Each structure stands twice: as structure tokens, then as C-alpha cells.
Amino acid sequence: MAQRVVIAPDEFGGTLTAPEAAQAIADGWLRACPDAEVRLLPQSDGGPGFVDVLAAAGIGRLVPVAAVGPLGGPVAGNLLLDEDTVYLESAQFCGLHLIAAPGPDSRTAWEASTDGLGMALDAAVAAGARRIVVGLGGSATTDGGRGACEALGGWDRTRERLRGVDLVAATDVTNPLLGPTGAAAVFGPQKGADPQTVRRLEERLAAWAATMAHDGPPIVHEAGAGAAGGLGAFLLALGGRRRAGAAVVAEATRRAEQIAAADVVVTGEGRYDAQTAFGKVAAAVAADAATAGVDVLVIAGQVTDDADIPGVVAVHSMTAYAGSVQQAMKRPRSVLTQVAESVAREWDSTRGKVEGGMRE
């Protein structure tokens, strides 16, 4: 009987989209095992690629929307309209990848705004949305959604505009808004903020949270409030509810059902580390596979020693295979395909008794 392989990766750190990564892994696997039955099931945790992954699964139709990026320049994004549900991706309008070279720094960390997401929310309501699911992750911003609110006309106007709309914050993390595990402290440095700017961002978020709390529920300590630089807090303050982004995509793509019918699952992401366990795709895929009693193999751009997900039988690093991060990123598609071919040969020879793998 032919191997039944489900390939369900996330995007690879801006080098490969989830559909591109899935195809590269499939190409490598089929080189080693040409008779395998391979099913591509690209995934997202709510961050970059959220809308594209859902669209690739045949959900809804894409509707272009013009907006502004995190620093005010024009950007073109998409709404995914599925009857009266609209899916949005915050990274399309305020993503870190939209910060031009030489890249993010303390100035951009302070100035980056979510105005563009507010414009997208307005367009979603205009399109007839009664439910709006916002994928949160990969943002350049730490404004707590204040820019989005101002783009919608201010707090009172925003509440009126979104009244009666079921808001869902599809987050890739569970961090609160403030404190040592909050949006500024944890994610500010990743967005270019130095220690002084992190402190300023924290103070600004606290002031904005107090403003939102006047007419909404207390959200400072809510799980996911710190997602996308506090965009999660903005949606929660408007009466929205949080769901794991990976779970939203899992339902839409019938992931658990597909995995249960497989012999092995291959997932992956740009960096497999301690954060992977907290809402990331690889952890969610592994949980589904564990329930079904199916082996999980991980291929990642980089792998750290503190990464540990139950149910994963082997982890393979593109960096270790290519010899350096630079070489892996220089030709990510070909390296991923080559690693997948090697992984397939090893798994095929042991039929689920893989041990070790390349780690770095």
C-alpha cells in the first residue's frame, strides 16, 4: 500500500509561503518515494499567509482592498469574503515585512501604525460582513490598535461601525497586553525597539488600554491581547473573542480528518524553537497527529535545542543541511526540497522508527 503523506507546513519566515513550502516538501518526498500519496495542506497560525492559505483551500473569494502600510505608504491587500464572513490578515496591512530596507529600528517600532487594518475593517463592513475573522501575527506595530481605531473615526465611531459584527481575533500567541510577557516587552525588540523604546511603548499601551476600558471589558491580562502589538486587545475591547489562528485554519481545511487518514505528517516553519509550543502551526499539527496516532516529522529553517513538542519523532534543520543560515535562505526552495527528499528516504527505510535528525 502506498504511503499516505500529509504535508502541512506554515510559511517559512518570509522566504516561502505556506503553499510554496508545501509544494517544495512534496517535490522532495516524491523524488524519494514516487508512489506516495501526497496531500498538500498548507497551514497558518493567523500570521503572514493566513488569507492565502484559506483561499488555497477553496474558501470564499478574494476582494482587493487599497489601504496604507505601517508607515503610511500605500499597500494592496485582500479581503476573503465567504458569504457574510470576511477573513482579514493584519500582516497584509501592518506587517513587519512592509518595513523597507535597512529594516526595522526604534523609530519604525514607535511610528508603525495599524491605520491600514482599520481601513480593511471598514471595507469588510461595507462588503456586508456580519462576522470578521482577523488573523493576527507578524506585525511591525505596537500601537494596541489605536491606529485602526483612528482610521475608523475614533472610539465611538468604531464601536458604532462594528456594532452587531462578530469579531474574532485569530492569534498566534497568548501573551497579555502589558507586563514582562506583554506586547512591548516580548515582541518590541523583534520589531526594532531598543530598551528605552520598549518602555515608551509599554507606557503608551497602558494609556490606550485605560481609554478602551472606559467603555469595554478589561482586557489588559486577557490571553492574546498582546497579539500583533496589541491589536488583540483592540478587538477584545470591542467585544471580540479570541481563537487560536491555527485552530481557525484547521477547521477550514479539515486538518484533523486529513491527518487521521495519513501514515505520516510533515510540518514545518522558519524557526522551530521554544515559542513553537505556544500556538504555532507545528505544535497544533502535532497535537492532531498525536490524537490520531500518526507520526510527525518537522522540517524548519532553524532549530534550537529548547524546542520540544510532544509527538514529533524527528526534527530536521535546513540550516544544518545547507551549512549556514545564509545558504539556506539564499535558495530556500531547493534546500527544502533536498531536505524533504532525505527525510523521506530515512522515514521510508525505517517506517516510522526515525530517530534524531539534523538539528541546529
Residue 324: strand, helix, or coil: coil
- Distance CA(235)–CA(223), nearest Å, equals 12
For residue 350, what pLDDT is reported? 64
pLDDT single digits (tens) 247-295: 999 999 999 999 999 999 999 999 999 888 877 899 999 999 999 999 9
Question: Cβ neighbours of residue 299 under 8 Å, at least 6 residues apart?
Answer: 9, 25, 266, 267, 268, 315, 316, 317, 318, 336, 339, 340, 343
Q: Report all structural domains of the chain as residue ranges with CATH numbers, in order of start.
A: 4-43+254-350 (3.40.50.10350), 50-246 (3.90.1510.10)
| In contact, 10 and 269? CB cutoff 8 Å | yes
Cα separation, 85 vs 65, in Å, equals 16
Interval 75-80 mean pLDDT:
96
Query: What is residue 310's predicted lDDT score, i.e. its pLDDT?
Result: 86
pLDDT band at 349 (very low <50, low <70, confident <90, very high): low
pLDDT tens digits, residue range 16-73?
Answer: 999 999 999 999 999 999 999 999 999 999 999 999 999 989 999 999 999 999 999 9
Say how many C-beta atoms besides its own lie within 10 A of residue 231's C-beta: 31
The secondary structure of residue 275, as a DSSP letter, is G
Residue 235 has pLDDT above 50, yes or no: yes
Q: What is the pLDDT of residues 109-132, one digit of tens each?
A: 999 999 999 999 999 999 999 999
| Percent of the chain whose pLDDT exceeds 70 | 96
Which residues, 6+ apart, have CB-to-CB distance to 153 below 8 Å?
A: 161
